[in-house]
Amino acid sequence: MIHPTAIIEDGARVAPDVEIGAYSLVGPQVEIGSGCRIGPHVVITGQTRLGQNNRVFQFASIGEEPQDKKFAGEDSALEIGNGNTIREYVTINRGTSDGGGVTRVGNDNWIMAYCHIAHDCQVGSHVIMANGATLAGHVIVGDHVIFAGYSGAHQFCRIGDHAFLGMYGGVSQDVPAYVMVSGQPPRPRGVNSEGLKRRGFSAEQIRNIREAYRVIYRSGKSRAEALAELEQRRREQPELNIMIDNARASTRGLLR
């Protein structure tokens, strides 16, 4: 299951059924859970933990030092959940002391070739990052988010659940749940209704989300005024909760 040319350093904890390909390197603080398949020429280093049933393709670099000039070698970690697919040349860096010390990636994510997840990012589950998508440091990504090819997020941005970033869309402000972003420069273009249908949202729920989008983006109201109006709908329309909470938590301002 482990190729004879692979290097597993003393201290690494590797489940008995893990597959590791030729010339891969697993560092001494690494933990790899059951069912994982690590391709050839992969480097997994630092205080990095992979859960179960992850697949990492060749030439990926997982758990390397953060690309942050303030990093001074302090202890930091990377935590990856279960069932993730990490394709060729993906780079995922561990955290820094300024960002809580841990980069986290959830479960069942599909991370395509040449993607980058920087230090202290918190990525949810069921996220798709198409080729070349990039997250700068400290970005928070919800569940079921889709990043099209070469899209990305500026440091400290928040991308809400079920959002969609179109191709080449690099955002520098926060994107609430459900919102679809596209164009050059990227702008909100409506609600990711097709994705919501695929995930079992009812027609009524999607109508409610579209109406909430209109209140935030097309009513001419300030963010405070729009959120005050939407707060009155929380109890009867709980699908709006994450959208409202995302907008309230925004520190960089909402992408307009």
Res 142: pLDDT? 98
What is the total count of domains within the chain?
Answer: 2
Domain assignment of residue 107, yes or no: yes
Active site residues: 119-120, 137
Same domain, 132 and 27: yes
Last residue of a domain, one of 138, 153, 174: 138
Domain assignment of residue 178, yes or no: no
Domain assignment of residue 234, yes or no: yes
Domain assignment of residue 170, yes or no: no
Task: Give the structural domain span for 229.
Answer: 195-249
Domain assignment of residue 167, yes or no: no
Mapping DSSP onto H, E and C, the string for the chain reads: CECCCCEECCCCEECCCCEECCCCEECCCCEECCCCEECCCCEECCEEEECCCCEECCCCEEEECCCCCCCCCCCCEEEECCCCEECCCCEEECCCHHHCCEEEECCCCEECCCCEECCCCEECCCCEECCCCEECCCCEECCCCEECCCCEECCCCEECCCCEECCCCEECCEECCCEEEECCCCEEEEECHHHHHHCCCCHHHHHHHHHHHHHHHCCCCCHHHHHHHHHCCCCCCHHHHHHHHHHHHCCCCECC
Res 10: pLDDT? 98
Give the CATH number of the domain where residue 205 resides: 1.20.1180.10
Res 256: pLDDT? 87
Domain assignment of residue 116, yes or no: yes
Last residue of a domain, one of 138, 154, 182: 138
Give the CATH number of the domain where residue 131 resides: 2.160.10.10
The Cα–Cα gap between 240 and 25 comes to: 45
Same domain, 47 and 131: yes
Domain assignment of residue 115, yes or no: yes
Same domain, 22 and 96: yes
Same domain, 118 and 236: no
> Which residues does 182 contact at the CB level (< 8 Å), separation at least 6?
165, 166, 167, 169, 189
Domain assignment of residue 217, yes or no: yes
Last residue of a domain, one of 89, 114, 138: 138
Which stretches of the chain drop beneath a pLDDT of 50?
none
